Structure 1
């Protein structure tokens, strides 16, 4: 057994041990679904990052960066991770305040509707079921490349690994293993970056080599490779796609079930906000490091195919064996962490929101009955996923982008409106979810099938969002908001007294300051280590050898500060206004309700 297989095997055994240990602590339904609502910031950050950085990031997107979009993936501001911050401030903290077990249950309770709850639950099953399929097959690809296992054997192995401890320990095991995995693959991303860059004489030397790479002449331009044989005919097409996709994924990180549900486990609303800010910074920096490292691999070998194996090639050929083994263990961890999250959420939705078990008279018996039912449903879901994996081959990058962004259309409008709109009705919410889902999936299917050819500005994500929003407004206009719906919305704005703390508020405001510093720092780093050397090599500096500030590269670098400095200021102000202890007898409940 080589070092690569050994590293993966040891890491998987650790996850199984931790999952088994966590499962012994599960006594009640709250333990299984939301970890008793006691998770600290580090665990919420761990599970947020681990569940979003899956095989798509380590295999699909790094491969895409390597193949054609190195410059664009590094330069474009990560607008999508800004969704963490907006989502936490205007949805996530209210979601946690509701004390529900799932996000679909939140919608059902908010609108006093089983049909809304069921509709949201079904979209979870369809959307995350597709995502679970992608990461299951991604995990199998990793094992096939690194072990003697064939593809089908690898599928069964990966399926067993994530099913075992998810089934037994629920969210308690998922959040612990997610955090361990998060620490492993984050650290190894930076270590891999160091070794790959060092192999080619440091960043500036490697960067110059990439700019002048004859086989991929536009690799480091702001728009990457575009043209007749790519998805984008012109740079403008790529810019439109990147903007819409970034905004869509921003909605995904803000409200999607595999992200916002993590806040239900947090021990306070302060933890929700801190975790979101830290996760936004960590994900953005980790992605930059991964994309830069994958792109530099071109200088060692520029014809890797399929390109999803870029980081696997780098681990086995461009760094010491022990480091490569740990990197592969980290990639495996990213795949398993997403698998456990998606499986748990699909299982929870089916058992809690779509097919709830019959309630027992005794609460203890009821908890045990629901636990058994949830585990049985989760097992069935995992078996179905395995069977589909055997007969269906998927493109990890595109499937992840297709199914992931479904929630931007079906959940984006309703999530924020459920907290902030006084006029949205139960029927408006129901049809908003359905129409947003269908309005995304059908155009996407027709486009992929070649039946229609949608231009970049008619992205199915945007179509679904607009259809959902129009549907909500129209259906709600012809209906009435019931008294209980009004009451449920007002309850969301009733600030729990134990959340108002001077010391906690001070700590949470630092999360906003961190976001501001992050935006400024990234802009400075990109200007020094990307834009200036890029313009120097390409001969586009101004006559006095100074930066051309109106170039696309410079404007995109400035975009990081333009986006994240205001977000940091917003976070600071919202935290100070909402959570600082009041000096008057006026209740924060009334102020939040007035603002709402």
Structure 2
């Protein structure tokens, strides 16, 4: 067996040992579902980033960069990473405040509706089963390539790895292993980048070689490959696609169950905001590394097929053996961490949101949850076996389901007191169904949707229209209005001045980093690219605007976080008619 195999085996053993340790700490439902609600910032950052990246980033999107769309992906990422901070500020901190066990339970409380919990739970199960399918396939492709065993055998190994661990340890184990894996693949990605430059030896020389690369002209242009044989005929079509998907995925990061459920584990609301700031910044830096690295591999081997195997090939052929082993183990870690997150949430939704097995007999509830999770894992294994691998496109399809079905409902239920239960039910269902139907009709050639009529947009607009129109025709329930008011009462302990000072550090770090990223991309991307293709540099070129936009998007979310944190958690910014102000005045 190769050293890469042993690296995977050792990492899996560590994963199971941590799961065993965490599983022994599980004493009840709160421990199993939300890790006892005591997770600090590092653990929340680890599980947010690890559950988001998975094999889609390290295999599928890196392969997309290799195919010719490295910097186009950055246009998408510039928009979607804002979802972390926007979601934490305008949805996530309220979810944490609710002290629910699952996000569907939060919707049930907000709208005083058991039907709302069942619907949100059902969409969670369907969407995350598709996402779990994609990540399982990605991990299986990795093991099949590295170990040299048939894909079905690799599929079973991956399935056993995440299934056994997740059943025993629940969310407590998931958050610990996610953080270990996050630290591993982040560190390895940073160290591995120079080796992906191959014989060119440096960032500048590699960029110049890619800028004039005749086999894939435009591979590092802001729009990527366009024209005959490319995904898009023009740069404008490519940009519209990136921006639409960026907005969609910003909503995914803001409200999706596998991201916002992490906030239920947070120690306090300040941890929610800090972890969101750090996670968005980490993703912004990591994607620059991954996308440029994926494109650079073309200069060493332009014939890797399918392109999803690019990073695995690079780890085994372009790096020192130990580093390559760590890289491949890190990719596998990202796959397993995401699988465990998705499987746990599927199991939680079936047992808690659909069947409502949680009761006073916590031991029985835990046993039932684990049995349901095993059944869900078995179904995902069968689907992954019969569905041909398509990691990136299945992931994008699954993610946008939540953007169109949950996005409007999640944000408006916090910020619009008049949204009614019938409106939320019909809106969520309409967004979900229209997205799926439009995607199926488009993929099967029944209709041909232009890029600006993405199924996400159709589902989102239908959802929003239902919310606004039906809310005008119906009345909110008294219990729902009362719960809305409760959600908007900031807990007294969150006004701790020491916590506030610590939290404000991170938006400042994000703002400074955003300016540094913009300056760095101008210096190391836009200017060298213009020189390489024999064009004068100017700030209005596509590459310059992408560089500035990427960094400034990071700066803007940092500024938003700073303003909101001071406004919400500083006593002197409280309105005069707030409950806290009235209490102080009476004293």
TM-score bin, normalised by smaller chain:
over 0.9
How is 1:449-460 mapped onto 2 (pairs within 5 angstroms)? 449-460=444-455
- Given the superposition, is the C-alpha separation of residues 348 and 561 from structure 1 closer, same or farther in structure 2, using an over 3 Å criterion? same
For residue 565 of structure 2, what is the aligned residue in structure 1?
Answer: 575
In 2, the alpha carbon distance for the partners of 1:585 and 1:138 equals: 51
The residue number in structure 2 matching 1:417 is 412
Q: 5+ unaligned residues in a row in structure 2: which ranges?
A: 583-587
Deviates more, 1:42-51 or 1:579-588: 579-588
Q: Answer yes or no: is the 8 Å Cα contact 1:77–1:559 preserved in 2.
A: no
Counterpart of 1:507? Answer: 502
Q: Which residue of 1 aligns with 2:265?
A: 265
Give the unaligned 5+ runs of structure 1. Answer: 542-546
> Superposed, which structure 2 residues align to 1:336-347 within 5 Å?
336-347=336-347
Alignment of 1:50-65 (within 5 A): 50-65=50-65
Q: In structure 1, the residue corresponding to 2:101 is in which secondary structure?
A: coil
Q: Kindly tell me: are residues 539 and 76 of structure 1, through their superposed partners in 2, closer, same or farther at Cα, counting changes over 3 Å?
A: farther
Whole-angstrom distance in 2 between the partners of 1:156 and 1:249: 30
- Separation (CA, whole Å) in 2 of partners of 1:375 and 1:425: 35
Q: Is the CA contact 2:73–2:242 (under 8 Å) kept in the aligned structure 1? A: no
Match of 1:496 in 2: 491
Give the stretch that moved more between structures: 335-344 or 369-378. 369-378
Please tell me whether residue 473 in structure 1 is matched to residue 463 in structure 2.
no
Instruction: Find the counterpart in structure 2 of residue 556 from structure 1.
Output: 546
Counterpart in the other structure of 1:317: 317
Partner of 1:395: 390
Quote the residue 2:533 is aligned against.
538
In the comparison of the two structures, how many residue pairs are matched? 582
Alpha-carbon deviation of 1:561?
Answer: 3.8
Describe the shift of the 1:77–1:367 C-alpha distance in structure 2 as closer, same or farther (beyond 3 A): closer
Deviation at 1:241, TM superposition (A): 0.5
Deviations 1:370-403 (A, max 9, x none): 1111111100000111112222213111111111
Within 1, Cα distance between the matches of 2:560 and 2:222? 29
Question: Could you list the per-position Cα deviations for residues 59-81 of structure 1 after superposition, in whole angstroms to 9, with x for gaps in the alignment?
Answer: 10000000111232346652101
The aligned residue for residue 585 of structure 2 is: none
- 1:156 is matched with 156
Instruction: Give TM-score, length-normalised by structure 2.
Output: 0.97
Q: Note the aligned Cα RMSD (angstroms).
A: 1.6
What is the 5 A alignment of 1:190-205?
190-197=190-197, 199-205=199-205
- 1:163–1:507 distance in 2 versus 1, CA, 3 Å: same
Q: Deviations over 1:79-115 (max 9, x none)?
A: 1010000000000000000000000100011101011
Instruction: Tell whether 2:293 aligns with 1:293.
Output: yes
Task: Answer whether contact 2:226 2:233 (CA < 8 A) is retained.
Answer: yes
Aligned to 1:447: 442
Flag the 1:95–1:76 CA change in 2: closer, same or farther, 3 A. closer
Decide whether the 8 Å contact of 1:65 with 1:294 is kept in 2. yes
> What is the aligned partner in structure 2 of residue 369 from structure 1?
364
Tell me how far apart the structure 2 counterparts of residues 114 and 209 of structure 1 sit (CA, whole Å). Answer: 59
Within 1, Cα distance between the matches of 2:50 and 2:295? 22
1:423 Cα deviation (Å)? 1.1
Q: Structure 1: how far apart are the matches of 2:31 and 2:187?
A: 29
Rounded to whole Å, the distance in 1 between the matches of 2:573 and 2:8 is 55
User: Do 1:522 and 1:560's aligned partners in 2 also have CA atoms closer than 8 Å?
Assistant: yes
Structure 1 segments, 4+ long, off by >4 Å, are 74-77, 582-592
Q: 1:456 to 1:389 in 2, by over 3 A?
A: same
Of 527, 534, 542, 2:522 maps to 527
Does structure 2 retain, via aligned residues, the 8 Å contact 1:493–1:589? no
Please give the alpha-carbon distance, in whole angstroms, between the structure 1 residues aligned to 2:166 and 2:560: 37
Q: Deviations over 1:111-168 (max 9, x none)?
A: 0101111000000011000000111111111110111421111111100000111000
Inter-partner Cα distance in structure 1 for 2:226 and 2:560: 37
Is 1:332 the counterpart of 2:322? The answer is: no
Residue aligning to 1:544? none
Residue 435 of structure 1: CA displacement?
0.4
Q: Structure 1 residues 314, 584: closer, same or farther in 2, change over 3 A?
A: closer
Distance 1:419 1:358 in 2: 26
Task: Quote the offset at 1:224 in angstroms.
Answer: 0.4
Q: Distance in 2 between matches of 1:138 and 1:441?
A: 23
Match for residue 89 of structure 1? 89
Query: 1:501–1:581: 8 Å Cα contact kept in structure 2?
Result: no
Give the structure-1-normalised TM-score.
0.95
User: Are 2:378 and 1:383 aligned?
Assistant: yes
Counterpart-to-counterpart distance in 2, 1:87 and 1:4: 38
Structure 1 residue 589 displacement after superposition: 4.6
Worse overlay, 574-583 or 122-131 = 574-583
Counterpart for residue 238 of structure 1: 238
Aligned partners of 2:503, 2:216: CA distance in 1, in Å? 45
Tell me how far apart the structure 2 counterparts of residues 159 and 409 of structure 1 sit (CA, whole Å).
29
8 Å CA contact retained: 2:500, 2:569: yes
